[in-house]
Structure 1
């Protein structure tokens, strides 16, 4: 699984909005771009995608900016990734249940479905509030604490 730059930037931008949610004040795109090292023009496109997905709203005016459309505890990392990249797992641009294989490769579809399930078990359980508060769910911390998780192969 690869996380696109757009998805990485989107989650980081959304985490910035989540951290500011308690103030109730909108956050300017320039502030997010500076805080997270995201090119501002790229960030504007990401914020547009997040608005279209109903995750973010724009506030006009001198004190305007962006804010989350609902509580950070109700928006998952998966929601943000889907808003900018589409489905979490795709095989040749299709959902895993839409691909089929013949012969010895036939079980491969089930492998892709299992990969998606494991990915969802993480990103659908981490909310923007978790990120903003620096406290991940125990199940995610346990996976990240496993020494094998840190080995690249």
Structure 2
């Protein structure tokens, strides 16, 4: 599954906003400059984030954007969903199957389940987790279990 620029840039901009918001509202121009994202693109993204009530805007001199709630309460999945980023790993774009005759391909359930796992993962990560860099190595435990399972499987096959 590939996350598009829209989703990645929205998360980058929100992480920047969370990190910089201690001094009050943050302008999109400042975020655009720090993150090397087009200002007009950020304006489109933040309109969607505001409608989804993930951010709020402050008008007038010294205005800009701020988080609508604490960074610990904003999930990455909230941000991705707010900018209409689909979290599907299947190639099906509707309720019908992905094959020309309307059937599902043999790997449909695999990719569908992967999409669910990605959504669950993004739902478990807060914006604060990202800004505080709490994710480094978070998959290490799972990777270690996976490697042990592979090793046990290979050892079991060698013993047969």
TM-score using structure 2 length: 0.75
Q: Name the counterpart of 1:120.
A: 119
CA apart distance, 1:105:
5.0
- Any idea what the Cα deviations from partners look like across 1:16-67, whole Å, max 9, x if unmatched? 111134x250101111001111011111111111111110111001110001
After superposition, the Cα gap between the structure-2 partners of 1:141 and 1:81, relative to the gap in structure 1 and judged at 3 Å, is farther
For structure 2, the 5+ residue unaligned runs are 148-160
Q: Tell me the secondary structure at the aligned position of residue 124 of structure 2.
A: coil
Report the CA distance between 1:76 and its aligned residue. Answer: 1.4
- Are 1:6 and 2:9 an aligned pair? no
CA distance in 1, matches of 2:68, 2:81: 16
Q: Give the structure-1-normalised TM-score.
A: 0.79
The answer as to whether partners of 1:76 and 1:127 remain within 8 angstroms in 2 is yes
For the 8 Å contact 2:96–2:104, the answer to whether it is kept is no
- RMSD (Å) for aligned C-alpha atoms: 2.8
Post-superposition offset of 1:87: 3.3
Q: Which has the larger radius of gyration?
A: 2
CA contact (8 A) 1:56 1:67 kept: yes
Q: Which runs of 4+ in 1 moved over 3 A?
A: 99-102, 104-109, 137-146
Between the aligned partners of 2:131 and 2:137, the Cα distance in structure 1 is 16
Secondary structure of 1:58's partner? Answer: strand
Aligned residues: 142
